Chain A
Amino acid sequence: MNRQPGFTLFCRLCAALPVLLVAGLLVFLWLQSRHALGPALFFGDADPVKAILGLAPVWDGIWPACAGTLCLVALAGLTAVPLGILCGIHLSEYATGRSARVLSLLVDILAGAPSIIMGLFGFALILYLRHSIAPEANASLLLSGVCLGLLVLPYMVNATATTLAALPADLRLLGPALGLTRWQAIRHILLPSAGRGIMSGVVLSIGRAAEDTAVIMLTGVVANAGLPRSLFGVYEALPFHIYTAAAEYRGPEDLERGFGAALVLLALTTVLFLAAGTLHRTMENRWRKGA
């Protein structure tokens, strides 16, 4: 017996929407890019091995953009992972009372800030450096990487802090019971137990850093730079490649390559998010069973 047929129908329709959207997105991207999929999508006419090693320039492939994204993600990880883990440990194990509240509020504000603000920050930093100590400072790969690192820093902090806080109480007693100092207990008992939760934070951060477009638009990405040459030079990246493909494609091949790039980026982030989700779940299950 159902007295609210309208309500039920509405909910059914709503529920169909996300499923249709995801399926539609995948099918549409695949249909549009299926002719372009293959090694030629990445390397154009160049020889793949030579292109990967940087010996041959790639003209109509997305390999330089992929390489740029990989570099960005690596730099962002180098910035955010150590800082984020340390800050997360501090937040959950050391900070108390007022300072903990203020710090977690700051982390939340940073997490909520739009990514374009992080880009604007990088842009302002360059303007500032030019006026003060380094007149030839310019937008570069390093700057983008660091700004992306700042963007994903709060994810790292939160992942570390919440995982540590969720560890069962008996693990916390183990350290003092063994006569370990606080840091020893964290280093040898708590951190290893929280490993998967922290890893899921790392993977999630990588996904966020790989997909973000607004930050890199303001800090040095360009449409045609080839492979990234140095930390202080301009570079290409996948999300920006997709954006320019939509805005200024010159023919059907360009467009197909754009769809191909979108599919590659989507696959990359989806795999990363799924991995993060799986890590997170196994972490939760492990301690639920253990407790």
Chain B
Amino acid sequence: MRLSALLTGCVVAALLAFLVHFCLPLLDPKTLAGLLTADWRPFHGGFGILAMAAGSLLLALSAVPLAFPVAVGVCCFIHGLGSPRAARLVLRAVQLMTGVPTVVYGFVAVFVLVPLLRAAFHHGSGFSWLAAALGLAVLILPTMTLMIHSQFQVAEPRIRLTAAALGLTRAQRLLHLVVPLSRRGFAAALVLGFGRAVGDTMIPLMLSGNAAQLPGSPLDSLRALTAHIALVVATDSHSLAYLSLFAAGLFLFTATAGVTIALRWIQGGGRP
């Protein structure tokens, strides 16, 4: 028993150790400088992952604001604005969404969303920042909704009597009491959604077009770090390219570990 607990700890440690071990050559300042550029031309000695890191951040930072208001709206509907039956139906739908494989979202988006964007904007192939951001927003919507929902469940019973005594309508109760009381849940949902969006592979890989560049507009193609890892492994190439993989992995791992720690901090009431 002690052993298996130890083993779980070891898995995390080993994960980190492998990433660091394969990143060690990075310490050479020249290589590091090479990696920290936006220049990805593997056949000309350019192995910069900065464009991909920016791509990951841009995608996540655009998907979260897309999904967040919808998640809040869905929760308000479930907690009072909708009839109990409709609320149950919506909650069921959200729970079903958590079970949909990301590859299925990606697959359907390739044949529905991408042609739609192509037809609507007459710009490029449709495989773009916007397509991937919309896909990711759909992916993180249930995660964020359920997080806010659980916070509302805590906040609601506490204020039900007060709200009734004040004669507030359901909408007023939600807007003026439940929402301000759930600030911590909102923060947790934002952080969690960001973590999920940064870490997802299939949707950026299938929808973003994967051009290693900084996008000039939401209709341009970009490449996320996760998709970058998958693509470079698929096209067996130079050892420096591998190095950029592990640097990308380290970046992703630190980012998501930071998200986890931030979540704990938020849920622990500001204490680590």
**Contact surface of A with B, Cβ cutoff 8 Å:** 1-4, 7-8, 10-15, 17-19, 21-22, 25, 28-29, 32, 82-83, 86-87, 89-91, 94-95, 102-103, 105-121, 123-125, 127-128, 150, 153, 157, 207, 210-214, 217-218, 239, 242-243, 245-247, 258-259, 262, 265-266, 269-270, 272-274, 277
Contact = CB atoms under 8 A, between A and B. Distances in A.
B1 A214 contact: no
Contact of A19 (B69, B93, B233): B93
30 contacts: A4-B172, A7-B76, A11-B81, A12-B77, A14-B69, A14-B72, A15-B74, A15-B77, A18-B93, A18-B94, A32-B111, A83-B7, A87-B7, A95-B5, A103-B5, A103-B9, A109-B261, A110-B15, A116-B229, A116-B249, A118-B15, A124-B19, A124-B22, A124-B246, A128-B21, A214-B230, A218-B229, A239-B103, A243-B106, A265-B101
A115 B201 contact: yes
B5 A114 contact: no
Given A28-B112, A120-B249, A124-B22, A213 B102 contact: yes
B100 A25 contact: yes
A97 to B, nearest CB: 14
Contacts of B82: 11-12, 15
Interface residues of B, number: 83
A290 to B, nearest CB: 22
B252 interface: yes
A14 B11 contact: no
A96 B252 CA distance: 31
Contacts of A274: 99
Interface string B82-95: 10001001100111
Nearest to A106: B12
B107 A243 contact: yes
Contacts of A214: 201-202, 226, 230
Contact of B86 (A15, A111, A212, A239): A15
B18 A128 contact: yes
A28 B112 CA distance: 9
A110 B11 contact: yes
Given A19-B90, A115-B199, 11 more contacts: A7-B76, A15-B73, A15-B81, A83-B4, A108-B263, A112-B256, A120-B245, A124-B18, A246-B110, A246-B206, A262-B107
A86 B233 contact: no
A33 to B, nearest CB: 11
Contact of A91 (B5, B106, B141, B246): B5
A269 B77 contact: no
A107 to B, nearest CB: 6
Nearest to B14: A121
Interface of B: 1-5, 7-9, 11-12, 14-15, 18-19, 21-22, 69-74, 76-78, 81-82, 86, 89-90, 93-104, 106-108, 110-112, 138, 141-142, 145, 169, 171-172, 174-175, 195, 198-202, 205-206, 226, 229-230, 233-234, 242, 245-246, 249, 252-253, 256-257, 259-261, 263-264
A131 to B, nearest CB: 11
Contact of A22 (B93, B112, B246): B93
A143 B108 CA distance: 29
Given A17-B70, A113-B15, A246 B107 contact: yes
Contacts of B71: 14
Given A15-B82, A21-B138, A86-B4, A242 B107 contact: yes
A14 B206 contact: no
A275 to B, nearest CB: 10
User: What 10 A-B pairs are tightest by C-beta distance, nearest first?
Assistant: A14-B73, A114-B199, A273-B99, A211-B101, A15-B77, A86-B4, A214-B201, A90-B5, A112-B260, A4-B171
Given A114-B198, A114-B199, A116-B201, A2 B171 contact: yes
A11 B103 contact: no
A90 B8 CA distance: 11
A232 to B, nearest CB: 19
Contact of A15 (B8, B19, B90, B256): B90
B103 A242 contact: yes
Contact of A7 (B106, B175, B201): B175
B1 A89 contact: yes
Contact of A114 (B12, B97, B256, B264): B256
Contacts of A120: 19, 229, 245-246, 249
A104 B257 CA distance: 13
Contacts of B138: 21
Find the residue from A8, A112, A116, A212 having the highest chain B CB count within 10 A.
A116
Contacts of B261: 105, 109
Contacts of B11: 110, 150, 153
Nearest to A86: B4
Contacts of B97: 18, 21-22
The winner among A86, A87, A258 for most chain B CB atoms within 10 A is A87
A210 B230 CA distance: 19
